[in-house]
Structure 1
Amino acid sequence: MGKICAVVTINRESVGGGAPIFVENSADHAEKTAFLLEKILDASTHDLKNGTFILVSHAAK
């Protein structure tokens, strides 16, 4: 089972929860931030197709 380790969005009102939330001002910036965080966090980026990306860690612990 994976764990959501970050959320990147262009619509702050559409997300919530305990993971860090990064709010960007455009879809392009959100995508770039998500893919950069993917590398930094060693996670998988999943595009929800609504201006929001979730980064999920599938690492076994």
Structure 2
Amino acid sequence: MAKIVGVVATGDTEVGGGAPIFYAKDRDQLQTIAHLLEKVLDSAAHEVNKDLFIIVNRH
């Protein structure tokens, strides 16, 4: 079963939950952080909307 291991959002997006939340100042930084976490955590980054990515581990 997949598990959300992180959330990446721009500063003006309201998010919450049990996973670590990373805030980005703009869309470019949002994509950079999401893709870096994807590689480091050996997971998949999924764009929920233009201001929010979730990092999902399927292992």
**TM-score w.r.t. structure 1 length?**
0.89
Structure 1: give runs of 5+ residues left out of the alignment. none
Number of residues of Structure 1 aligned to a counterpart in Structure 2: 59
Structure 2: give runs of 5+ residues left out of the alignment. none
SS at match of 1:46: strand
Q: How many angstroms apart in 1 are the aligned matches of 2:46 and 2:32?
A: 13
Instruction: State how 1:1-61 maps to structure 2 within 5 Å.
Output: 1-11=1-11, 13-59=13-59
Runs of 4+ in 1 over 6 A off after TM superposition: none
- Percent sequence identity over matched residues? 42
Aligned-partner residue type, residue 51 of structure 1 = D
Per the alignment, do residues 49 and 13 of structure 1 end up closer, same or farther by CA in structure 2, a change over 3 Å counting? closer
> CA RMSD of the aligned region, Å?
1.2
